[in-house]
Chain A
Amino acid sequence: MKNFLIFLLCSVLSVSSHAYEFKRLTPDFSANYTPELSGTEAGLWMQMDEAEKNIKHSPLRINNDNLNVYLNSILCRLSEEYCADFRIYIIRNPYFNATMAPNGMMQIWSGLLLRARNEAQLATVIGHEIGHYLKQHSLKRFNDINAKSSFMSFLSLGIAGAVATGNLSADIGSAASDLTQLGLMASIFSYSRDNEREADQYGIQLLENAGLDNREAAKIWENLIAEKEAADEDISSGSVFFASHPDPGERIINLNNHANAINQAGKIFTNTNSGIYWQNIKPILPLLYQDELNLRQFKQSEYVFKSLLKDDISPGLTHFYLGELYRLNGEDEQQHLVKSHYQQSINYPDHPSEVYRSLGLIEYKSRNFSKAKEYFTSYLDKNPEANDKEMIEFYMNFGA
């Protein structure tokens, strides 16, 4: 139903989009900018500098050198002039989000990396965050909130929270619990939604600098809506966090309109750079899959894993984790899928050694001990230093 409404709105707006002219945004300040020491902004920067020291050494930071270099290269292609003003940190957080602090510290959550399908989609989000920085949204929002009330933190400037049902929404939700503040909250969220729209516009404008296909920008939101629908959830409901962000359906329309207007006026770029994106993500893909599974939101995860399988991303690994998903979900009618995905996994060269252990455990529980022993032997042959080696050998000696 939601898709139909979006289609209807798109159809109506596409008629008027011929008259739409894309207005290019410009930064509020020049590169290498630092605030004056005496001002409010300097205080914000100082606090963010302190926070950044902790993030640098956080055990939840993903320190994959190649991936960090790759994300920085995207950032610098989007905004070469300001490249030196930013630092990117990849954080192990399986939800879809990214944040930008006023001092140029950008956080990319690992759940975003699993959900972007290509470089163009990730660059859309990075560009959006750069937009927040170049338009000084943190400072403007802080001043706006201060002017209205000082009750709420200014810090949560993520683009999305699209599937973030965690701490951010809880924090803001608790602030909203005081009914007398609700009118004020609506005003603040309205201001924030304008920031988000402007950042979306800036992000899509920056894609041109990197020569990336701006028609991918809206797709990331389409995928998020589809993911939520797969879990029978409405993307806009249940989270006060979304009050601070435009409706995803509206974002799709706006991003498509921006893209159409830019493309009608200039060169159309068709690069999505899917290959190089997944080449860089693959080393951490098992970690992303495992963290996603640990959320125990099986319907959403199933949608994500199947989408990757459809795009032929690491089929051996993806089949294995789909098998793991159905096993952990424990639904009787899905149990035949467990073994099926494990067996499909081993047909691909990128299958993980753990798939032999999983197949061995299925056979062991079915008391097919000789078959179980074969799989366990394969597992230990491929993984002689396995941390469960003694346990597997125990299975092999007592039964298998």
Chain B
Amino acid sequence: MIRKIATVITIVLITACNQHTVVESGQQTIDSFLVQTSNQWNLIPRQFSTAGLPTWTVDGGSLNSLTFISEIKDGETLFPNTDKKKFDTFNKDMLPTELVELVESTLLLSYNAKVTNKGQLKPIKIGGSQGFDFEFEFVGDDEITRKAYVAAAIKNEQLHLILFQATKIHYYDELIDSVKYIVNTATIKS
């Protein structure tokens, strides 16, 4: 009997750990970001999220995901616990053109992917901080074409970045306006 109860408790705990948590529309704080959302998202459990970083999704992580990367310091990789010998590292003097390479190379090496198309790189403001955004398309081992939208800024010599990835077919176009609303309303805490 005790064994059965223990089994049930274990299953409940494991299931609870693996559940996505609803992120209601409205104001949200994620590490260094304070953002407004126009629709409901779901927080992916860290063990399944992009590099263990805070990541939201609407339809499931493999279809669309929105990752918040905060407070990357000089000499650190974009994703935590990655090999500094292999992965590019952030430098506080990097220009947006170089930060694009940092993001792209991190994704390409992480997913064994190739960039198949590049979009616009533009200056933008994120909560009063000078930043930039850009888009690109990439194909990984599953041979599905995905699009990424990245908005980032350097504040207090640290990189803060929002990374949206979704399948090129359907999901990118469906959610990009919601993502840009989040970026436009975002502020970076000091």
Please give the distance in Å from A334's CB to the nearest CB on chain B.
16
- CB within 8 A of A59: which of B87, B95, B145? B145
20 A–B contact pairs at CB < 8 A?
Answer: A54-B143, A59-B139, A59-B143, A60-B139, A60-B143, A166-B112, A290-B115, A294-B104, A294-B105, A296-B105, A387-B119, A387-B121, A388-B120, A388-B121, A388-B134, A390-B121, A390-B123, A391-B96, A394-B123, A395-B95
For B46, list chain A residues within 8 Å (CB): none
Once A294-B105, A365-B95 are accepted as A-B contacts, the answer to whether A391 and B132 lie under 8 Å apart by CB is yes
Please give the distance in Å from B83's CB to the nearest CB on chain A.
10
For A290, list chain B residues within 8 Å (CB): 115
User: Which residues of A pack against B, CB within 8 Å?
Assistant: 54, 58-60, 92, 166-167, 290-291, 294, 296, 328, 357, 361, 364-365, 387-388, 390-391, 394-395
- Compute how far the CA of A387 lies from the CA of B120 in the bound complex, rounded to whole angstroms: 5
- CB within 8 A of B97: which of A54, A58, A294, A391? A391
Closest chain A residue to B85 by CB distance? A296
For A291, list chain B residues within 8 Å (CB): 114
Once A166-B112, A357-B97 are accepted as A-B contacts, the answer to whether A387 and B143 lie under 8 Å apart by CB is no
Please count how many residues in chain B sit with their CB below 8 Å of the partner chain's CB atoms.
Answer: 29
User: Which residues of B pack against A, CB within 8 Å?
Assistant: 86-88, 93, 95-98, 101, 104-105, 108-109, 112, 114-116, 118-123, 132, 134, 139, 141, 143, 145
Contact indicator A391/B121 (Cβ below 8 Å): yes
- CB within 8 A of B95: which of A54, A166, A328, A361? A361
Contact indicator A296/B88 (Cβ below 8 Å): yes
For B112, list chain A residues within 8 Å (CB): 166-167
- Compute how far the CA of A357 lies from the CA of B121 in the bound complex, rounded to whole angstroms: 14
Question: Nearest 10 pairs between A and B by C-beta?
Answer: A388-B121, A394-B123, A390-B122, A391-B121, A59-B139, A294-B108, A59-B145, A92-B114, A387-B120, A387-B118
